Amino acid sequence: MDEQDLSTEEMERDFFQGAEVVKVEVAVLRETLEEAKRVFAANGWSEEEGLRIALTLGMGKLKAEQALSDESLAPLDTPGGLSDRLMQLDSLYAVMKYRAFHLMKDNQTLEIQNAALRNTIHALEGHIQRLNEEIAALKGGRGGGALRRIPGVVEPAPTTLRGIAAGQKPVGLVRRILRRLGVGRSDEGT
């Protein structure tokens, strides 16, 4: 029994040397999966088993085709050539349809993003134009009333420093402002 176990271990070691189980996820169209499930059910396979068989049979067929000929499509003059060609074209069509579907979705996404960017650019251009008008109005000075043309901006009343000579400190003006605000001399002493 030890010899049988040893030979089984050797066989496993030699046959599965370097083998590693990996999980493969492939996105396909729903109709392709439904068709595959019908084929799997007709053959009595579970979905997982059917997917493995389809993948390995497909790989085997591809390898055999590459080994037998350099042509990408099966010749029509051989027995079963027409059905082989039909199967090849059907599988190529399914792959191309899947790719076209996803390219169409990507194109729709890009169109939506492009439209959003165009709207943003248009809004920003309007904002820039308004800001440029405000800057021009501010640079125009107060004499022409340019500030009054800007919405929300109130032009300040002109202030005069009556009775203050050049170089003097505006102490009198500060005192008058403080009195108007209700702050008098009586506050200074306390």
- Report pLDDT digits (tens) over 95-123: 777 777 878 888 888 999 999 999 999 99
Mean per-residue pLDDT for 29-41?
90
Domain locations in the chain as residue ranges: 23-68, 82-149
Q: Is the pLDDT score of 64 beyond 90?
A: no
Predicted local distance difference test score (pLDDT) of residue 90: 78
Average model confidence (pLDDT) across the chain: 72
* Residues of the chain above pLDDT 90, percent: 11
Q: Is the pLDDT score of 85 beyond 90?
A: no
Q: Is the pLDDT score of 38 beyond 90?
A: yes
C-alpha span between 147 and 136 (Å, rounded): 10
Mean per-residue pLDDT for 149-173?
55
Check residues 183 and 71 and name the one with the higher pLDDT.
183
**pTM to 2 decimals?**
0.37
Among 56, 54, 10, which Cα is nearest to 35's?
Answer: 54
Mean per-residue pLDDT for 78-83?
75
pLDDT digits (tens, 9 = 90+) for 123-135: 999 989 999 888 8
Query: How far are the Cα atoms of 68, 91, 176, 184, 185 from residue 190, in angstroms, in the given order?
Result: 111, 99, 20, 11, 9
* DSSP secondary structure letters along 93-145: HHHHHHHHHHHHHHHHHHHHHHHHHHHHHHHHHHHHHHHHHHHHHHHT-TTTT
Among 49, 47, 21, 46, which Cα is nearest to 33's?
Answer: 47
* 16: confidence class by pLDDT, cuts 50, 70, 90: low
